[in-house]
Structure 1
Amino acid sequence: MQKVYADMPGRLPAIDRIHLHIKRGEIFGIIGHSGAGKSTLLRCVNLLERPTSGTIRIDGEEMMRLDAKQLQAKRRKIGMIFQHFNLLSSATVAENVAFPLKLSGMGQAKIQARIQELLELVGLLEHASKYPNQLSGGQKQRVGIARALANHPDILLCDEATSALDPQTTNAILALLLDINHKLGITILLITHEMQVIRAICDRVAVMENGLIVETGNVLDVFLKPQHAVTKDFVGQVSDFTAQTSSAHLDVPSNSAAGTLIRITYVGQQTYEPILFEIVKSTTVSFAILQGTISAMKGVPYGQLVVRLTGGQPGDTELVIAKLRQEDIDVEVIAQ
């Protein structure tokens, strides 16, 4: 897919060569710096921006072939929440949530029941009669989420939905989105410039730069083994353990003993098991842990260690590395 704006200098594509398949029920993140093209890509999904070339299929239906009436009906099944909330300032919380329901022709009794259901879901039932200027930023975004869910959408598009919020409120909104995904099975496509957002709730991620997708994959894989320079930059936002490949970049003592420097990556339950100790003690090798971290992503624990292996009989260091890899542990030799 490609999108070119007629007034862009040199008619350079805002997005180009975009190929994405998003699975039903997953939370998919798109991350990039300002101007990377992520907002354009998101708005192409529901044809708020019409691609210059390419196709968009939702549940096998080609969006660009729909007539105006069909497109309107399809858009009702695609909710959208925005960075700056886009609430009606002269309408109450309940009226803001009711707005898309009235447009769809729902009866008043059903609208009232749906409002109560949605406000209860987002934790705002007691604020139904308030106006947006009486709400905090997090509460406004909860109204936006309730409104986006009004017509039982299959897909929820999130356009920098937490960028205007403080960190504590951001975490609360992300927890709400994760809860909605679990309870309703709704597919969530979000864009952000914050790796913490991706790390907190996304299953897979695409990294954008200059209108192109430069890297994509499962969040844990991309986080632990970023390939592109811009991905490494984003990972560095939330990790004290950046994926540098040279010993010169590692914060290790200059007087460290000679030996083999390796990076070990654990994923899952093996993170908490003494695998390295058990393997090393069966050899004459000694080891020192120079750096290390343990964390979790969507309930999956992971850890990384930088270890210096020293001493031992000839071949023992290679044996340790081989045995670690036999345990399905990723081992990278940084320096020898």
Structure 2
Amino acid sequence: MIHLKGVMKNYDVGGRQVAALRNIDLTIRKGEIFGIIGHSGAGKSTLIRTINMLERPTAGEVVVDGVEMTKLGTGKLQLERRSIGMIFQHFNLLSSATVADNIAFPLRLAKLPKEEIARRVEELIGLVGLTGHGSKYPAQLSGGQKQRVGIARALATNPKVLLCDEATSALDPQTTGAILSLLLDINKQLGITIVLITHEMNVIRTICDRVAVIDGGEIVEEGPVTDVFLKPQHRTTREFVAQVSDVAAIGLETSGSAAAGNRTLVRVTYIGEQTYQPVLYETMRETNVPFVILQGTVSKLKDTPYGQLVVELQGQEGGAEQAIALLRGRGLDVEVIQHG
């Protein structure tokens, strides 16, 4: 659906070239919700804006639904942009226009008939949950309602792709949850491909299918959210996961009940239906290894349940190794934190 190949973006700063993006290779599949996460200044906003050519890359290719965007002239680019909607952190609404007129704005630019515009606006107002608010002005709306208007406006021309530029960063946690739920519903109902950038890992784990981590203008980690969240490889990724991880770094803490040298600390990760099954208990009973659960959580990554436990295995080392092997054989991920 979206392919970025060798994308680079340089800015001229004081007569010298500063790289904002470095050799970005990225593929975003049709119909998925793809997240891009990074710290401020990492290049994530520049990256998402290259998709609709609001930022023209210095080098590389940007292909959206089979169209090479970097080769389009002004006229054709404007036409292609109708298939790429965009919502913004600070809403970017017309303050002197009503909700209905804000949503109608791109339709009027496309010179659609008045009757069609009216029908489409009414349909979108209902879709985003703003029925009865069409005649209000932005100043009369809450932040969440303003963002709903922004989403409706972005969807006005029936785009194939929806770009979300920090769409929830200006909202409180409860409103953020409502907006993420709306985006998830839109994705499911319309099959639209959603690309969102954020600096909040909670946004990624709530609605995204896959994620790319950007640092210093480079993609440093990429993959399914379940893999990246539960097994982060890069330092930056681990920092973001730590923001929302319910299982804190355990360090060298133990229960204190095992003799020195006769304990093994492990982190056990469950994914899917095994999250709700007594696999740990059954394994320890089978191997006769005493254990203590020091920390634990059960949660979800989008629609996928997962669990993480930090467990102290007690007794002889051979018994712990046997238990770990059995757990791994039953499909669980087991990370040894410390021996002895």
**Please, what TM-score do these two structures have when normalized by structure 2?**
0.94
SS at match of 1:214: strand
Find 2:32's aligned residue among 7, 26, 29.
Answer: 26
Counterpart residue number, 2:322: 319
Counterpart residue number, 2:331: 328
Counterpart residue number, 1:221: 227
Gaps of 5+ in 1: none
Does 2:53 correspond to 1:47?
A: yes
Distance 2:15 2:187 in 1: 40
Does 2:63 correspond to 1:60?
A: no
Distance 1:264 1:254 in 2: 20
Distance 2:281 2:141 in 1: 54
Distance 1:37 1:316 in 2: 49
Counterpart residue number, 2:3: none
SS at match of 1:301: strand
Q: Is the 8 A contact 2:12 2:18 kept in 1?
A: no
Does 2:22 correspond to 1:16?
A: yes
Counterpart residue number, 2:293: 289
Alignment map for 1:1-336 (pairs within 5 Å):
1-7=7-13, 10-242=16-248, 244=249, 249=251, 251-253=253-255, 256-257=258-259, 258-311=262-315, 315-336=318-339
Displacement after TM superposition at 1:317 (Å): 2.1
SS at match of 1:123: coil
CA RMSD of aligned residues (A): 1.5
Alpha-carbon spacing, 1:251–1:140, altered in 2? closer, same or farther (3 Å): farther
Q: Give CA-to-partner distance per residue, 1:137-180, whole Å, 9 cap, x none.
A: 11100000000000000000000101111111111101000000
Displacement after TM superposition at 1:121 (Å): 0.2
SS at match of 1:17: strand
Higher strand share: 2
Q: Which amino acid aligns with 1:197?
A: V
Q: Is the 8 A contact 1:284 1:311 kept in 2?
A: no
Q: Is the 8 A contact 2:258 2:315 kept in 1?
A: no
Distance 1:284 1:300 in 2: 31
Displacement after TM superposition at 1:284 (Å): 3.0
Distance 2:253 2:312 in 1: 13
Distance 1:334 1:253 in 2: 14
SS at match of 1:2: strand
Distance 2:207 2:313 in 1: 36
Distance 1:61 1:251 in 2: 56
SS at match of 2:27: coil
Distance 1:164 1:315 in 2: 53
Alpha-carbon spacing, 1:153–1:15, altered in 2? closer, same or farther (3 Å): same
Q: Is the 8 A contact 2:187 2:194 kept in 1?
A: yes
Displacement after TM superposition at 1:316 (Å): 2.6
Distance 2:285 2:129 in 1: 54
**Please, what TM-score do these two structures have when normalized by structure 1?**
0.95
SS at match of 1:44: helix
Distance 2:14 2:203 in 1: 30
Alpha-carbon spacing, 1:24–1:103, altered in 2? closer, same or farther (3 Å): same
Q: Which amino acid aligns with 2:325?
A: A
Q: Is the 8 A contact 2:104 2:117 kept in 1?
A: yes
Q: Which amino acid aligns with 2:267?
A: R
Q: Is the 8 A contact 2:9 2:19 kept in 1?
A: yes
SS at match of 2:228: helix
Q: Is the 8 A contact 2:252 2:338 kept in 1?
A: no
Higher mean alpha-carbon deviation, 206-215 vs 255-264, is at 255-264
Higher mean alpha-carbon deviation, 140-149 vs 322-331, is at 322-331
Displacement after TM superposition at 1:250 (Å): 5.2
